[in-house]
Every structure is written in structure tokens, then in C-alpha cells.
Structure 1
Amino acid sequence: MSRRPLTVALAAAALTALLTTAPGAQAQPSPEAIVDAFEGVLGPIRSHRPSHAKGTCAAGHFTATPEGARFSVAPVFDGQRVPTVIRFGVGVGNPAGPDTGRTTRSLSIRFETAAGDIWDMANISAPIFGSPTPQVMVDGLLARRRDPATGQPNAERVAAFVAANPATTLQGRWLAASNPPASWASTPYWGVNAFRFRGADGEVRHARWVFEPRAGVQRLTDEQMRTLPANFLADELRRRVGTGPVEFDMVLQFAGPGDDLVNPTVAWPDDRPRATVGRLTVAEVAPGPGGACDPISFLILDQAPGIEFSDDPTLQARAGAYAVSLSRRLQ
């Protein structure tokens, strides 16, 4: 099925209608409400993305393995080389934020086949998401709005929210226990939501994925966190790619009995079946700020019938919010 980009004017409305009528869809805040909640904390966002505001564009290609063709009939897994537009990001709300903080890093990818079939994804350097549902995420942002009298969030309101929603602390605990990546090329990137993969045998399997770095996992030392420049990641990646391609293996993890298919704050056990379904090669990095990834919101998240949404409400809410955010930046 060919999935060419929607215009920004139609994207939010079309995606909202699609997702709120999908089988198993749950009531959730509107895309506008999600973006409004981010702006309630960060202020009006017109020049950058609300999340992972800092980033660098890159390009490369993806080639599926025979296992990829086995587990998905989507065109991106047909074994042909698929060009990719890539964005590496840092989980900060300000494009001037540091590269050394204990936040997530991101790997966003647009795949586009020769026939024009498009598939987007957004992955993070933590195995779990920060909120179990879109409504909880919105409530958490609203709880952190600054008090006009003090210029700071109301501590009692934040504490009450956390006490009522302990799952929102899980990603933060994981990040606190793991030093930040030493390179965008040396960390795994997880797609924390479950998708339905329709295989060549006709079977539908729930799966999540992770992009595992071929260079191995490397993290900053405590000393490096204190001394490295605030903007070291982009230059470090350019140097790496200048000496040879940076590569990641895409690995599917399949759900087992009883695994939670709709809550991205819950990781699946490590003993679940896995399959390497393709390799992503990063062949070039933009020489400076800006590039081909800037106008892309990575909102075409399925490639039916081979890759379809699960009932995870966070996944279902993502595309519409991305479209609204993009439309506001283009105003």
C-alpha cells in the first residue's frame, strides 16, 4: 500500500479521525490538547519540536534481512535497499540544551521505497516511555505548569501527580541509573510501542523493535559528563561517518503470553523471541544545522498491511499531535 505524505492542513484532521475510529481505540486527549500541554510548560513553540528539540539531520539506507521479509509483508522489508532520511535528537525542550544531560537521545527515520511507499518511526534511547497513556502525559505536563506568582511549578501539585501516577517515574529512574550515550552511534534505540506485524505466512504478531548499534554500547563517564562541550554529539557523529558508515541492526522482539501490549512504560522480558529484520546504514551527516529532516514530523507510522497500529493509545495519539505541532511551526 503506497503511503505518500498528507498535506499539513489535512494531516491532523485525517489522522485524528482514523485513530479515534480504529478498533480498540481508547478515549484520549485531542492532538491540540497534547501540544497545548507542552506549550503550557515550555511556552509557545514555533521554531522547534516540543520534544527532542535539538537534533542533527543525516541520511542513509535500510536493507531488510530474509527474516524481515518473513515477518512483514510491508514494502520496506522486501529486501531492496530503501533510502532513509534520519534525525538524531537530544531529549531537551530547548535547541540550545546540552548533549551531556541524563535525558533520552532519539533516532527518527523516514523510509521511502522506489515506489513511493513511506514509513516513519521515532525511537528513543530508553526501553520504556515516560507515560502509560496520553491523558496521563497531558496531566503531568499540566501539573508542571509554572505558577505566575513564583515562576516555578507548584511542588505540592507535582508531588500529588507523581503519587497518583507512579509509572511516570520509571523512565526517569532508568535514565538516572544509566549514564548518557557517548555517541549517537553507540546506544540502542527502542521503539517503545507495540505494532502488529503481518508476516508472509499471514500470521499477525505483536512486536516491538530496537536498533542495536554495530559499534557496541558506549556511555559517557562521569568526568566526560562534566567536561565535554554542550554540542559534542553532532561533530562526533560527523567524524565517525567520515571514516566509514555507522550501522544499526533492527531487531524485533515478539510479545509472549501476558505481555502488556498497550502500556509503553512496561518493558517486555528479555527472554522473549527476537529476530534481526534489517540493517540501517548512516552514510552521511548534515554539515551544520538544518537539513532534509527538518520539515519532517515522522508521522506516517504504519505501512499496512505489513505494519499496523496496536491498541496502544500512546501510539495512536502520536501522529495527530506531531501534525498539529508541525502546523504551528509553519504558521
Structure 2
Amino acid sequence: MSQAPAPRRRTGAYVAIAAIVAAVGGAFAWTAGWLTPDRLTAARMTDAIEATSTTPYPGFRRAHAKGICVVGHFDGTPEGAALSRARVFADTGTPVLGRMSIGGGSPYGLDAQARVRSMALVLNGADGSEWRMAMNSFPFFGAASIETFFEQTRASAPDPATGKPDPERMAAFAAQHPEAQRFAAWAKSAPWSDSFANTQYNGIHAYRFAGDRGEQLVRWSMRPQAPFVEMTAAQREAAEGNYLQDELRARLAAGPLRWDMVATLAGPGDDASDPSTPWPEGREQVVVGTVVLTQAQDQASGPCRDLNFDPTIVPGGVALSDDPILAARAAVYAQSFDRREREVARGADVDGTPPAEAAR
């Protein structure tokens, strides 16, 4: 997609946190709320996510609006097949369709300025099964419950008078929620990678694998085979708007890119229902397969544009855990998908041409 120049500005710590909240906003919400008028619903949560952006972008995703389509395949391992009977672990060459994206609700955001990067995949098994994944570069979530995330999203909405989140409101929220403080500390201190290709993407939620080893709670990550290279603040400031997408295309032109899918097995006492709680270091890890990406294509005309990467769609041999945030994601994903599809049907422009305000 074309990228118009945009002004770069320094932001305070709380504004930075607010941007991250907006970046991952579409991923976590409440479902089945139609039973009582005061209960959270997918529509109310999606409304709150939309309110974190000062500019609406009809026809685009409510979060992670800027992305690029990728295709490739997945090669399973014997170790993966022992953990789960899902067909993808027994096979090699399983087709993969995916999307690499940055956080935020603008499809014209500056790649190198986005703190959160994401990988979403669909694996189509030879047995007709389908597995959809949505992963992010942060290692844990910033809210311990659905209600807390709703509060966080509302706290990060911009003040009409300034167009920015209220730092005092954000600080008050963080003071009451240790998990939000822990997430903010990660966002402030973790090094920034200089490529989509050398970023690790984490599933965050726990799932249940069923195979020869019985039933096992796991969390997985996509660990890059490309070596990590840190991108400095000066490099991020100087980078072109489509830096990550352009860099990804250049790497793919030189050859395939690979990530090992690493399953971390839960140990005694590990909380599978709270994605804001990291599991202890030293838990057993198993390489269950490898994602191999070979091509990239603009999302405006690519096959990933109209896909809903609902992470509750899993194959046999994989089941959802008791994580309520994971269970809730499907409703908000569907709500966002329905809204943008209706907007496209009404003529929303999603060809990637920046609107007038993005060109200023």
C-alpha cells in the first residue's frame, strides 16, 4: 500500500500505553452479553475499541488495520504429532495463508513506530480441518479479565478536547491493575526488532493438546529462525512509513522465511485462564512444527483481506482452554468483520489510497 508522510511526534508514557491498548483492542472482549442490558456485549466492546481512534476508517479492521498478506506452508514434527493428533503435525507442506500487521486502527500507520506486531495464520489440513491463529509480539496480555480490558479500553479513549488519552485517567487505571503495570514495563523496556521476520509472535492463551501424551495444556509461540537485530529509536524515527512491509518483501525475494512453532507445556499450578500471567521460566518446550513463508501481497487485493482470523477455530486434537478472554474473542471478531463487510458493500474505499487527512 502507498504510505503518505505523516507528522512524527513524541508521546508520553501513558499515551504510548494507550496506543498499545488500541493496537490489540480487537483481540479481547466479552461475548454472550445479550442476556442483560448492563452486561458487556460484542457490540459494546467493538464500540469501545472504535472510540480509541480519532479517525474512522470504514472497511478496515478495527485493530491491526495495516497489514500485508503472506502465503507459505507448515511442516509438522514427530514431536508435535505425539503431543496432538491434529493432522498438521503429522504432515509436511500444509498450506498456510496469513497476515503480518502492526498495531493500531489506522491503515496508514508508520510501520517502524508500531510497538505491537502481529502474525495471523490459517492452516488448512489435508483432512479438511482448519486452524486459525492470531499472535502478537507481546509475551503476555495487559488485563486479567474481560471487564478489566473493557475499562482499559475506555480509559485509553482520546479526550475530545485534546485528541489524546487523558494521562491521569490512564495512570489511575494502571495504579489499580498490576498486570497493566507489568505490560507497560515490557512495552518500555523490551528491545524492538528491525523486521517482521525476526520477531517472535506469541499466542498468549492456553489451549489443550490431545495426543499420545494424553491431554496437555500448552501455550505456543512462533520463534523466528532469522537472528534478532534490535532497531534503535533513531532508526525507527528515520524509517519510511512502509518500512516493515518493504523489508519483508526484500527478504522474501531472497528466499523463504521460517518460524519454529514452539509449544510450552504447563506445569503444576500454572494458570491457564489468565493470559496476563506468564508461566515460569524453565517449563518444557517442544518444537511442534515450522511455518515457512514464501510470498507476500498487498492486503487490498490479497487473499487475507476478507479473512476473519478467529483463534477459537481449531482442528481435532486441539481444544480451547477455560480462558474466558479467549472464548470471548470470537464474538468481537465477528462483530468487527460484519461491520467492515457492510461498509465495503456500501462503497467504502479499501484500495489503500490514503485519505486527505493521511496526506497532510
The two structures have a TM-score, normalised by structure 1, of 0.87
Cα deviation 1:188-218 (Å, max 9, x = unaligned): 11111111111134x1111001111111222
Of 23, 36, 41, the residue aligned with 2:52 is: 41
Of 171, 184, 187, the residue aligned with 1:159 is: 171
Identity of matched residues, %:
37
Of 64, 76, 80, the residue aligned with 2:76 is: 64
Measure the CA separation in 1 of the matches of 2:295 and 2:127: 23
Structure 1 stretch displaced more, 72-81 or 51-60: 72-81
Structure 1 stretch displaced more, 63-72 or 294-303: 294-303
Structure 1 stretch displaced more, 72-81 or 188-197: 72-81
Amino acid at match of 1:314: I
Q: Is the 8 A contact 2:98 2:120 kept in 1?
A: yes
* Structure 1 position 169 matched with structure 2 position 172: no
Of 94, 98, 106, the residue aligned with 2:110 is: 98
Q: Is the 8 A contact 1:247 1:279 kept in 2?
A: yes
Gaps of 5+ in 2: 1-29, 343-360
Cα deviation 1:90-143 (Å, max 9, x = unaligned): 112211111122511101000112332111001111211222222211111112
Give the equivalent residue in structure 1 for 2:146: 134
Deviation at 1:266, TM superposition (A): 1.7
Deviation at 1:284, TM superposition (A): 0.6
Q: Secondary structure at the residue paired with 2:319?
A: strand
Q: Is the 8 A contact 1:125 1:188 kept in 2?
A: yes
Of 309, 314, 322, the residue aligned with 1:303 is: 314
Of 215, 237, 248, the residue aligned with 1:226 is: 237
Measure the CA separation in 1 of the matches of 2:147 and 2:31: 15
Q: Secondary structure at the residue paired with 1:103?
A: coil
Give the equivalent residue in structure 2 for 1:125: 137
Give the equivalent residue in structure 2 for 1:24: none
Amino acid at match of 1:68: G
Amino acid at match of 1:216: P
User: In the superposition, relative to structure 1, how do residues 150 and 185 fare at CA in structure 2: closer, same or farther (>3 Å)?
Assistant: closer
Q: Secondary structure at the residue paired with 2:51?
A: helix
Measure the CA separation in 1 of the matches of 2:313 and 2:132: 7
> Matched residue pairs, number?
309
Amino acid at match of 1:258: G
Q: Is the 8 A contact 2:87 2:126 kept in 1?
A: no
Q: Secondary structure at the residue paired with 2:274?
A: coil
Measure the CA separation in 2 of the matches of 1:150 and 1:229: 27
Cα deviation 1:157-206 (Å, max 9, x = unaligned): 332222112312322321211232211001111111111111134x1111
Amino acid at match of 2:153: L
Q: Is the 8 A contact 1:187 1:218 kept in 2?
A: no
User: In the superposition, relative to structure 1, how do residues 30 and 78 fare at CA in structure 2: closer, same or farther (>3 Å)?
Assistant: farther
Structure 1 stretch displaced more, 208-217 or 150-159: 150-159
Q: Secondary structure at the residue paired with 1:95?
A: coil
User: In the superposition, relative to structure 1, how do residues 102 and 327 fare at CA in structure 2: closer, same or farther (>3 Å)?
Assistant: closer
Amino acid at match of 2:246: D
Give the equivalent residue in structure 1 for 2:279: 268
User: In the superposition, relative to structure 1, how do residues 270 and 330 fare at CA in structure 2: closer, same or farther (>3 Å)?
Assistant: same
Amino acid at match of 1:307: V
Cα deviation 1:229-253 (Å, max 9, x = unaligned): 1211111111111111000100100
Q: Secondary structure at the residue paired with 1:100?
A: helix
Give the equivalent residue in structure 1 for 2:356: none
Measure the CA separation in 2 of the matches of 1:223 and 1:142: 32
Structure 1 stretch displaced more, 40-49 or 186-195: 40-49
Of 86, 93, 97, the residue aligned with 2:98 is: 86
Give the equivalent residue in structure 1 for 2:19: none
Measure the CA separation in 1 of the matches of 2:168 and 2:226: 44
Measure the CA separation in 2 of the matches of 1:258 and 1:113: 33
Measure the CA separation in 2 of the matches of 1:261 and 1:147: 36
Give the equivalent residue in structure 1 for 2:12: none
The two structures have a TM-score, normalised by structure 2, of 0.80
* Structure 1 position 145 matched with structure 2 position 170: no
Q: Is the 8 A contact 1:66 1:79 kept in 2?
A: no
Amino acid at match of 2:272: L
Root-mean-square deviation over aligned CA pairs: 2.3
Of 126, 142, 147, the residue aligned with 1:114 is: 126
